[in-house]
Amino acid sequence: MSTLTVAPRPLATRPAAARKPSGPSAARPVVSARHAVAPRPVACQVAIDEPMWQLTRRGLVLVMGLLAAVMGSALVTCLVAFLSVSNSPL
């Protein structure tokens, strides 16, 4: 499995809320996780899925040839079945 190293990102904080609380709870201080500094990972390992197997040019030609042979034999079978029906009345 291949790994990819990502450059570290700087620490980021979210801005404070634009509106102030009002009402009976306005006098109490509010503890919020919104202003907490969240550490970013220094490096991330990203898995890259690689194919299980790959066809070479020779293998691709072989597979395409086998597919063409199967399709050709199906065409010949259908043509022979069509031509073997007699035109004479029963």
- Report the DSSP beta bridge partners of residue 39: none
Q: What is the pLDDT, as a whole number, of residue 17?
A: 59
- Report the DSSP beta bridge partners of residue 81: none
- Report the DSSP beta bridge partners of residue 12: 38
Q: Report the C-alpha gap between 4 and 88 in whole angstroms.
A: 74
Structure-block tokens of residue 51: 């194919």
Q: What is the pLDDT, as a whole number, of residue 59?
A: 93
pTM: 0.41
Q: What is the pLDDT, as a whole number, of residue 69?
A: 98
Q: Report the C-alpha gap between 2 and 49 in whole angstroms.
A: 8
Q: What is the pLDDT, as a whole number, of residue 63?
A: 95
Measure CA of the first residue to CA of the last residue in the chain; give whole Å.
70
pLDDT tens string 33-87 = 566 666 666 676 667 777 777 889 999 999 999 999 999 999 999 999 999 998 8
User: Dihedrals φ, ψ of 18, to 5°?
Assistant: -75, -35
pLDDT at 14 over 70: no
